[in-house]
A and B are shown apart, each in its own frame.
Chain A
Amino acid sequence: MAKHHIEATVNGDAVEFLCETEETLLDVLRDTLNLTGSKEGCSSGDCGACSVLLDGRLVCSCLVLGCEVSGRKIETIEGMAKGESLHPLQQQFLKSAALQCGICTPGVLVASKALLERSPNPTETEVRYWLAGNLCRCTGYDKIVSAVMDAAAVMRKG
């Protein structure tokens, strides 16, 4: 069967690609567009390592088909830093040692950014439940949750 021709926006750039019907958005990002920052941990939507924003909504890109994103806006970890300057969340994660191996970090950062966009002053509980879809096996979550709350405070000050 012929491949589908899709046009979409990724991190502000217009992209077009061909994909098989069964290819996921994650496959397209990683294998076709060479954006390997989104990680594949489970392919079943349980680990959150492939988290991206689709028209501003947090999704697991392993659960979205490539052909579903026609005309839509995708934001990945690669678009989070603006040029030379890291996003306040990225800065805070570095400062607080909120990562160890780093494999979950792209997904956690994308998810945290989505949280702070809708809730600039989240409680610890809110952060924990929002990030419940992002597995981290190294940190025990402590420094991640603190870093998100500290970054929120920094961002509120502008």
Chain B
Amino acid sequence: MTGRARFGADYNLPGQLVGRVLRSPHPHARIVSIDTSKAEALPGVKAVVTRADFADQPSEFIPAGEMMMNYKDVVRNVMAREKALYEGHAVAAVAATSVAIARKALKLIDVKYEVLPHVIDVVEAMRPGAPLLHDDLFTAGVEPKPDKPSNIAKRLEIKVGDVEAGFKKADLIVEREFKTAPVHQGYIEPHAALATVSEDGSVELWTTTQGHFIVRAHCARLLGLDMGKVRVTATEIGGGFGGKTVVYLEPLAIALSKKAKRPVKMVMSREEVFKASGPTSGATVRVKMGATRDGKFVAGFAELKYQAGAFQGSPVQPGTMCAYAPYDIENVHVIGYDVVSNRPKVAAYRAPGAPISEYAVESVVDEIAKKLGLDPIELRMMNAAHEGTKAAYGPKFGPIGLEETLNSIKKTEHWNTPLRKWQGRGVASGFWFNIGGETSVSLTVNEDGTISLMAGTPDIGGLRAALASVAADELGVPVEKVRPIIGDTGSLGFNFLTGGSRSAFSGSMAIVEAAKQIKSELVARACKLWEAKPDQVEWKDGAVRPLGALAEKVKPMTIAEFAKISGKLGGPIGGVGRINAQGAGPSFGTHLVDLEVDPETGRTTILRYTVAQDAGKALHPAYVEGQFQGGAVQGIGWALNEEYIYGEDGKLQNAGFLDYRMPVASDVPMIDAILVEVANPKHPYGVRGVGETPIVPPLGAIANAMENATGIRFTELPMSPPKVLKALTDKGLNKA
């Protein structure tokens, strides 16, 4: 706002060195040898690290946001060991006194590669005989256990009812195969880390991350350090969307600093961000749905093949969970495959996995509506999940707002406005389950009665404002008197990361807990001061109030009044909330889009867009709208333009913002936001996480609008101008 907020690359320390990474030019190669002697001899080079500086890690799976990862892979992803597995894979890193010297040093590192055949496409990677990335990777989840390694890391499925029986009851069956391209989270701030290791081995690290406690855990593990010795401060974060939930530079910066005995700062270039940090999966998805003549869905089948990148751990599991979650269907069977190929390891991206599978399902739902001659909103309404629906992935839904979002979309003026030639309208719904998890916060009452609020989940889109308003409300103080900050790993108990739409949900629950402690402490102090019994006082409207006869003798006391006398009465005042938040309420949304296709160029313009989503209770309505709008526009990019483009050589061809085309201001219209509020009964304010769901419906909604505009069912994303133009030309639809 004023330029004073400090983001990852804005931190500096006296005597700091510049860290740079040497990256593999090959998509797949055995690393025969690495000779760093010439680089180390260059004046100004203070440290060089390679695979030799990181101990191997045994296989151990740990949660990474909503996905899983394995430490054996994490250590190999931060620094290649036996093989380089994608173009851009880190092979060595240097710390030097200047950028120029660091660059020169990278050129002096002699890496001998034995180049191996590579595989980029997920379907090709699954074929027998495809180049193998890991000779110790055997497909999990199949019986009997395979005796040969493959690129299929895992097969998983969810099943309810009997889909075959369901299809027999169907009057209409629609089956389609879809393909989506990998897309990058596209945060504007590149990864950055500044590390300093002192003589006694204690580490200080500043990094741009969605979870500094997670960074601490990973760095301690990879470098064999006690967690207590590693203090991580999360800087202001310039966007993450899931992509800043893992470590890349952090362990390298610490290892370099330890060797050089000086602080080391590392910042990725945009090209490195594209080539070496996680996009989300591209995928191939087959969907088969059956419906009766009057529109009741009777069976849903899907097969999802998700790219994991070079190491296992794609978001295929949440993809399977979410695929049919918006619908109440008796028979569902979803199979997922997690497949490795020579691409950067995928990272979480907003509702990881869900946009892909729900795009495919929403496209087929739309086709069913068209074939049965039904209104697409009516068809969704007829089949919508509601309170009591048992989702195919397990839980029975409590109160949920899908029907309300459909209803509110139907009532918009937007839905009822006529369209012209080459214009189309599409609708789609979406779901994300949301998570809670481990959360610690503290509230400290300062001597003047103001409140210091500390949370441990980085604020990416208004968390501090939302938590401050909850604390103010709970303690009955004006919100300006609450100063919220994000504490470092030494200041609070463990916090899981900001992700899964959990931080406002869980953080506000923890604040309520911390405030409760303050209130009961002040009630106790009042009893002492007034020589009263607990039933003679109560906490109400920001003060401890005397009741009954006592009220005639003493006056109510506010927090500020207790703070003023805390030196004489009870000492410092504060509370901590340490919870493992349960009861995250799922959030459903429905999006409506109008677009226009230019038959001469194949370019698609989004004309109008409306989002309706269940927020449970919006703590800060403007920021909730912002989540809806931002997610929708990311979805527009995913649907229309964004993709990783690889050449035959296995190298990424569009590693920059010019060629990786994210939406700019002139690409999109205003995004109307409708806040539906069906309270989450498991949260004191009724809150549901809102951040993830908005990216789920746009892909399907836009594909459906494209069909409406052109009569063509596009089954491949992105629907970029060349693809659309070719489809129109092939059908002879755009002849002059």
Contact = CB atoms under 8 A, between A and B. Distances in A.
Tell whether A pairs with B: yes
Contact of A39 (B238, B241, B658): B238
Interface residues of A, number: 56
A35 B707 CA distance: 50
B239 to A, nearest CB: 5
B2 A142 contact: no
Contacts of B437: none
A76 B2 CA distance: 10
A78 interface: yes
Interface string B243-281: 000000000000000000000000101100000000000
B595 to A, nearest CB: 16
A131 B666 CA distance: 8
Interface string A21-43: 00000000010000111111111
Interface of A: 20, 30, 35-44, 46-47, 49, 76-78, 80-81, 86, 90, 93-94, 96-97, 99-106, 109, 124-125, 127-129, 131-146
B668 interface: yes
Contact of A97 (B188, B622, B656, B664): B622
Given A49-B188, A78-B3, A102-B236, A139 B630 contact: yes
Given A44-B657, A101-B187, A105-B1, A131 B665 contact: yes
Interface stretch (B5-13, B60-68, B89-97, B400-408): B5-13
Main secondary structure of the interface of A (DSSP, over half): loop
B668 A97 contact: no
Contacts of A131: 664-666
B589 interface: no
B112 to A, nearest CB: 31
Contacts of A104: 188, 238
B671 interface: yes
Given A102-B236, A103-B7, A137-B634, A127 B270 contact: no
Nearest to B8: A103
Contact of A143 (B189, B240, B622): B622
Contacts of B237: 101
A56 to B, nearest CB: 19
B546 interface: no
Contacts of B574: none
A137 B631 CA distance: 9
B4 interface: yes
B461 interface: yes
A131 B633 CA distance: 16
21 contacts: A30-B9, A39-B188, A41-B270, A43-B269, A90-B1, A100-B461, A101-B187, A101-B237, A135-B186, A135-B657, A137-B185, A137-B634, A138-B239, A138-B460, A140-B629, A140-B630, A142-B629, A142-B670, A143-B625, A144-B665, A145-B665
Given A36-B10, A96-B622, A145-B670, A140 B633 contact: yes
B7 A97 contact: no
Contact of B658 (A46, A96, A128): A46
Contacts of B658: 44, 46
B632 A140 contact: yes
B2 A80 contact: yes
A103 B2 contact: no
B618 to A, nearest CB: 12
Nearest to B267: A40
Contacts of A136: 188, 665
B188 A47 contact: yes
B668 A106 contact: no
A101 B632 contact: no
Nearest to A105: B1
B163 to A, nearest CB: 38
Residue of B1, B185, B620 with highest tally of chain A CB at under 10 A = B1
